[in-house]
Amino acid sequence: MNEKQLQQATNHLQAEPAEETKEHLPVKVEVLQSLQIDLGTTFNSFLPEEQRVLQMKYNSKRFGNYTDTELHTIIEALILKTAVITGWQLAEDDAYVTILTDQLRKKAIDDYQNINPDEFEYAMRTYGTKIKDWGKALNLSLIDDAICEYLGKRQHLSELESQKRANEAELPALPPGETDWSDEWEKIKNNARNGILKASFITTCVYDWLFRNKMITLTGPERWQVLEDCREAYALEMKEALVISPTKEGRRLYELLVKEGKEWQQEERLWTAVVDYGKRETVRIEALNAIANEQNG
């Protein structure tokens, strides 16, 4: 790929959408702007990095919606960006690069059709840099390893998003407090048994169900300590997000969150986010305790 082709590919990725299609494209939002814009309770119940992944799904047109010519140009630029991001060597052989471009384009059509260029770059930055094949020639297998890691996370978050939206849609028609989350609770405990339980995989509805059924074993002071721990964890995530997407409002919220005292609790957006974080963490702890009690019993 020569310098002219590189410039054309880069310009294509950075170009503004055509005027007639602008109104049909979703608005891009920064990581911490989710705390400023009302995107619904579903979105706000996710952690900052999870929100970022969900936002990226709507940032730009998916691979499957590009023409062959457009996709070829985009793939050329993404191959170069991948080499820069990961440190994988891009062969100087033009024939090799041509074949790699063609095969990645076909892979995008066959297997990556539902993701977009922003997600591809994120996957390379997040997962590609962890694949320790320094000095190895950039190839389809290395790229696919990173993309598959991202697709797993994306699928899980998309399923949670759909589930939460469905639950919200059903809420007005359901008697308050009567939804049964026992099946989900059993799944969570099973994940704990298998050592694959993460708080981010848990819906806050399970906490509410456990609480209604008096199944929370942590004491009041213990739950407050969990909340304080989650406040610190959430502050760390906000700090990391600010490095990537600095905003004045995001900085204000971060400084309020880490400030001594309880003033941060008066900020509804922070309070809701930290409480949801705490609910998921409490469920995780309760699941681990339940498994420990089963084994000891």
- Residues 10-59 have pLDDT tens digits of 454 444 434 333 333 333 333 333 333 334 455 666 777 777 788 788 77
If phi > 0 it is left, if psi is from -120 to 50 it is alpha, else beta; for residue 92 that is alpha
Amino acid at 297: G
Measured between alpha carbons, how far is 155 from 164 in angstroms, rounded to an integer?
14
DSSP designation for 66: S
- Residue 226's CB is within 10 A of a number of other CB atoms, namely 18
Residue 61 is encoded by which pair of tokens? 């047109």
Query: Which contacts qualify for 55-60: CB closer than 8 Å, 24 or more apart?
Result: 55/28, 55/29, 55/31, 56/116, 56/118, 56/119, 56/122, 57/115, 57/116, 57/119, 57/154, 57/158, 58/26, 59/26, 59/28, 59/116, 59/118, 59/119, 60/25, 60/116, 60/117, 60/118
pLDDT the model gives residue 220: 85
Q: If you average pLDDT over every residue of the chain, what do you get?
A: 78
What's this model's pTM, rounded to 2 decimal places?
0.48
Per-residue pLDDT averaged across 259-276, rounded? 87
DSSP string covering 209-254:
HHHHTT---S-HHHHHHHHHHHHHHHHHHHHHHHHHS--HHHHHHH
pLDDT the model gives residue 89: 86
For residue 217, pLDDT over 80 is answered with yes
- Residues 112-169 have pLDDT tens digits of 998 999 999 999 998 888 876 655 788 999 899 999 988 888 888 877 776 766 555 4
